Structure 1
């Protein structure tokens, strides 16, 4: 059975928007709720959007206002290019609050609701998919805070796979490399050329390819503690 309700923080732009579209295309009975400050471009009647700050402590009220989710996909993320020694603490807080703390609180509150509702028992349908980043595995100059936040998401995923698995709630993670989004659109041509030369497939990924992995992890009933690199082979050279 396909999921009936998918909750996607950060589901209106880039990879998140592609994930929303992929779940809506999965089955006519699947509904999606996106959480973001930015409105979605889709007008699909099965898509509900709520303006929501995932770092704010309002999850309890939110979950009372929507159907119980079968699937949570944490796709919200912000980045800031700066050497750590030059990073202002308000920037540090903003990146960690969205990328790590926001993801952690979402997992806590939605995971609690899934366990309480008995989601996943027997059929194992309850699932959380976290979106990390290759920088969380390999690091990167000028990306210390972002890399740390995304590394934390991988650690969170592995711990929750153990904690929630016995209740039938599966927890998995996608680790994208360079993907054609706004984050990579601003790269200079020489920078992009240098990165492409290190990717065995010779191109950046497409958001739709990341979305396909999210659907797979959410629907494969034996997928738990999966951490999937989608980087065109870039990490093979690390």
Structure 2
């Protein structure tokens, strides 16, 4: 039977690239995002697993930061109930950006950024762990959390975003110690500037590119390769993998 990956933020960018790579390697993918239309387009780009039988890739539209999204009744409707197949890999990739001086950021914006980038990730991870506690899943699972270079380095105009992404790293380290003995590995990727629609307006900035030692942005596919390594290396737990073209060394 193929393995199963649950990917938040799976409708575009890094999340979709990870889903495409996993699907090419015989994973069934469940993509989570806010837009049903965008999810439908994304899932249509995934290779069909010839061994999947009647269980195809699926999409789940909703707000991961809403506690009721992860409630058992809702997940049952979405096909992730007690009787569904094991979740082998959870990729926490959903996120929203910020480009505004902190003094001008509203309380609503701060809440949206933290709720999506950090709280939603924690709620989704708790959902996975509770399935494990109820013996619906077996050991051997992997959790991949997508952080950001700004969570390590900071950056002007991204205070709330940087704080949320730093929280992702703290969460990763603490959880790796807590659930590692249960056979669950927890790792993080720390991307720098990646070619996605969120950075499209920055990709022609010669000043920014000149600061990156490799003189270019990374690609979502390169981040997906990093996720694939962390999924497969059985000794990778509390592994924080920088993928920033050397920018953090500057």
Structure 1 unmatched ranges of 5 or more: none
Superposition deviation, residue 115 in structure 1: 4.4
Whether 2:226 is the aligned partner of 1:213: answer yes
Structure 2 unmatched ranges of 5 or more: 49-55
How do 1:88-237 and structure 2 match up within 5 A?
Answer: 88-117=106-135, 119=137, 121=139, 125-187=140-202, 189=204, 192-237=205-250
Distance 2:180 2:203 in 1: 44
TM-align CA RMSD: 1.7
Superposition deviation, residue 62 in structure 1: 4.2
Whether 2:18 is the aligned partner of 1:34: answer no
Give secondary structure in 1 for the equivalent of 2:211.
Answer: coil
Q: 1:228 to 1:3 in 2, by over 3 A?
A: farther
Distance 1:188 1:232 in 2: 14
Distance 1:210 1:142 in 2: 24
Q: Please identify, of 146-155 and 2-11, the stretch whose mean Cα deviation from structure 2 is larger.
A: 2-11
Superposition deviation, residue 116 in structure 1: 3.6
Distance 1:62 1:110 in 2: 14
Q: Please identify, of 142-151 and 106-115, the stretch whose mean Cα deviation from structure 2 is larger.
A: 106-115
Q: 1:222 to 1:119 in 2, by over 3 A?
A: farther
Distance 1:150 1:182 in 2: 19
**Contact kept? 1:179, 1:204, Cα under 8 Å:** yes
Distance 2:73 2:173 in 1: 28
Distance 2:131 2:93 in 1: 19
Match for residue 73 of structure 2? 61
Give secondary structure in 2 for the equivalent of 1:140.
Answer: coil
Superposition deviation, residue 25 in structure 1: 0.7
Q: 1:119 to 1:223 in 2, by over 3 A?
A: farther
Distance 2:96 2:42 in 1: 20
